Copies of this chain bind each other. A is one copy, B any other.
């Protein structure tokens, strides 16, 4: 007896006697054909039972969602749709699934319903495909960086500095919620809290990653980050994973090269390793879009969009040039943009980014040299005194997917910038030390992993690409 996964069985070129497989029933047709899935692949294996040879009571328990143990011979399939199937010799029910109450029926469920049953939704083809693709992408990230001489680094989740100001933060505390200790000024006495001061959940590992880049050369983080923003949109999560590489001696041009090479590499990885899942998701999206008005449909199918990224050179355009293009563009002149572009300094919205990618350049775009006042304090000031060496990578369908910059490596300039923004030097003494001792040009970027998974799977709601989404008013499971 060989216990095999469904994936192993389906990839067999030869027939096999006496195989055994365990999985969950997807459907049981005509009291004869069991479609069995064990998560190892999108596809089910067909298990054929001669109902005359099996006890009726047992067959009645072969219901959608039941866990069963099958033994039999792997033979060439007589039917269409599969090369091989199992001629069942033994069938054991491991765990029943009451068809009256089991939520995941063999029919189309709404994504809303499946979110409420997130603990069971990977028992559907769509969500199992998403999570297999996501897992592949995750491995591709580690593989890419490892093969390119980067070290993985674990930056802290809990931080006592809120200097980056990338967003609202969650407080982490063990103080009594109702009656916190107060100090003599009548304020909460955080010196009695677990960490001896007020502590929050991190919004980014970048500043800490810079410390390691300035010693180990090339590093990356890949871990959770948090935003306590009350944004109930299809693109925001309170808890999400970020990828943040940081490289010493690399300037903005090198950063663009890295971002382009990296993102192409990980997308190529899933195109190679997840073909069945991507084909399925491609079809799913195509069918979903059919139900939408023409204007809302995506001009490209899913796999087409992935190849649009891997097969095109990313066009590099300065912010200033982009503003000119946008100002002169038809949708701007005809007031079709929700936010009209009037002057240099405007913050670009997703509609503008998508116009540049999808209509104007027809390839992924990297915008660079943004106005200093719409970007973070640590970005390197250009000689013009008004732009910084920032970059955003723009993708079709979503706009910005990667944001990065060359970091300000000059102590005096950085201090001035912090002063202007009221960031106390004492809070970031260690960050300033990097500019005091052996400073050098360095750069990095951040990529929200779930946004990449949305792009790669064609899913429209970020809650559907993370097992248990955390959003305002929701921390279920």
Using a CB–CB cutoff of 8 Å, the interface residues on chain A facing chain B are 5, 7, 22-25, 38-40, 65-67, 94-98, 101-102, 104, 118-120, 122-123, 128, 131-132, 134-135, 138-139, 142-143, 146, 149, 151-161, 168, 170-175, 177-178, 180, 182, 187-188, 190, 194-199, 201, 208, 211-212, 215-218, 223-224, 226, 228, 230, 238-239, 241, 248-249, 409, 430-431, 433-441, 466-468, 470, 472-477
Contact = CB atoms under 8 A, between A and B. Distances in A.
A172 B226 CA distance: 11
A437 B160 contact: no
A49 to B, nearest CB: 18
Contacts of A149: 5, 7, 40
Contacts of A66: 437-438
Contact of A199 (B5, B215, B475): B475
Contacts of A434: 119
Contacts of A146: 135, 139
Contact of A65 (B182, B211, B438): B438
24 contacts: A23-B217, A39-B151, A67-B438, A95-B439, A95-B440, A97-B436, A97-B437, A97-B438, A122-B215, A131-B151, A131-B212, A134-B152, A135-B152, A139-B142, A142-B142, A154-B466, A157-B157, A170-B173, A171-B173, A194-B228, A194-B473, A196-B472, A199-B475, A208-B468
A212 B170 contact: no
A95 B216 contact: no
Contacts of A138: 142, 152
Contacts of A215: 24, 39, 120, 122-123, 128
Nearest to A220: B135
B472 A195 contact: yes
Given A476-B160, A477-B430, A94 B238 contact: no
Nearest to A476: B160
A190 to B, nearest CB: 8
B197 A119 contact: no
Contacts of A474: 195-196
Most buried by B among A118, A171, A217: A217
A95 B437 contact: yes
Nearest to A157: B224
A435 to B, nearest CB: 8
A195 B156 contact: no
A158 B211 contact: no
Given A66-B438, A95-B409, A119-B211, 15 more contacts: A7-B149, A67-B439, A94-B438, A95-B439, A118-B430, A122-B215, A131-B153, A158-B470, A159-B475, A170-B172, A171-B174, A172-B201, A175-B177, A178-B188, A430-B477
Contacts of A22: 248-249, 440
A122 B66 CA distance: 53
A185 B79 CA distance: 66
Nearest to A469: B156
A170 B180 contact: no
B440 A94 contact: yes
A94 B217 CA distance: 15
Nearest to A132: B151
A44 to B, nearest CB: 13
